[in-house]
């Protein structure tokens, strides 16, 4: 069965964005891009909430075509074009997008159907609201977190109050020269 892995940058105090969705505190550099690119290139499916999907769709399809495109832009743009996108949205229409499935009802049934299909892990990129919905339904199988060396004090949390207890098993960790630490967890379903 395929797994849904939540890929997030997070502050030391557990926030994935500032109070107004700010993400200017996230540290990314070539070392992190190269590391992330290796794992993402093995995947074939991305999962997004509507807001994150619209941000991605506005940038990645043409990122490689820009005259100053970085190696990361070129590689991720190619991956994005080929990856199947799944979007949780009540407002988007599937007919308007290529290689994209929109889920707007029966979330548990649709996600479980997708998890039964062949393919690699499903990476849930950012998308705090979608993550919260999937967490509440116990549909997330792991977390790929990039802990940034900053305390925000307030913002949008990764885990919300009332979140069900979820034992996790650490698969790997890595520290980058920027001070960011990667933590790779799977749920410890016993």
Query: Does residue 53 lie in a domain region?
Result: yes
Question: 13-63, pLDDT tens digit by residue?
Answer: 999 999 999 999 999 999 999 999 999 988 899 999 999 999 999 999 999
Q: Is residue 78 part of a domain?
A: yes
- The Cα 64–Cα 156 span in angstroms is 31
Q: Where are the beta strands (DSSP E) in 50-180?
A: 84-88, 100-103, 122-125, 142-148, 156-157, 168-175
- The answer to whether residue 18 sits within a structural domain is yes
Decide: pTM greater than 0.85.
Answer: yes
Q: Is residue 166 part of a domain?
A: no
Q: Is 164 among the domain residues?
A: no
Q: Judging by beta carbons within 10 Å of its beta carbon (0-12, 13-18, 19+), is residue 136 exposed, middle or buried?
A: middle
| DSSP run (H or E) holding 105 | none
Number of H helices, E strands in the chain: 5, 10
For 64, counting Cβ atoms within 10 Å of its Cβ (0-12 exposed, 13-18 middle, 19+ buried), the class is: middle
User: Per the structure, how many domains does the chain have?
Assistant: 1
CATH number of domain containing 22: 3.40.430.10
Q: Is residue 116 part of a domain?
A: yes
Query: What phi, psi does 100 have (nearest 5°)?
Result: -135, 135
Range of the domain at 178: 4-159+172-183
> Is 24 a member of any domain?
yes
Determine, yes or no, domain membership for 20.
Answer: yes
Q: Which residues, 6 or more positions from 6, have their beta carbon under 8 angstroms from its beta carbon?
A: 124, 131, 134, 140, 142, 143, 144, 145
What does the pLDDT profile of the chain (190 residues) look like in tens digits? 899 999 999 999 999 999 999 999 999 999 999 999 999 988 899 999 999 999 999 999 999 999 999 988 999 999 999 999 999 999 998 777 889 999 999 999 999 999 999 989 999 998 899 999 999 899 999 999 999 999 999 999 999 887 788 899 999 999 999 999 999 999 987 5
């Amino acid at each position: 069965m395929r797994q849904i892995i939540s890929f997030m940058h997070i502050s030391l105090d557990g926030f994935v964005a500032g109070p107004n969705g700010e993400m200017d505190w996230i540290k990314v550099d070539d070392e992190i891009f190269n590391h992330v690119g290796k794992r993402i290139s093995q995947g074939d499916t991305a999962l997004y909430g509507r807001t994150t999907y619209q941000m991605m769709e506005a940038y990645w399809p043409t990122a490689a075509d820009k005259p100053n495109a970085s190696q990361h832009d070129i590689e991720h743009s190619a991956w994005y074009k080929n990856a199947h996108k799944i979007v949780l949205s009540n407002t988007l229409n599937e007919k308007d997008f290529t290689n994209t499935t929109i889920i707007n009802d029966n979330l548990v049934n649709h996600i479980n159907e997708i998890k039964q299909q062949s393919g690699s892990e499903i990476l849930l990129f950012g998308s705090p609201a979608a993550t919260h919905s999937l967490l509440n339904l116990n549909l997330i199988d792991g977390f790929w977190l990039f802990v940034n060396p900053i305390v925000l004090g307030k913002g949008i949390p990764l885990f919300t109050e009332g979140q069900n207890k979820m034992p996790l098993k650490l698969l790997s960790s890595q520290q980058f020269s920027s001070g960011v630490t990667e933590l790779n967890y799977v749920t410890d379903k016993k």
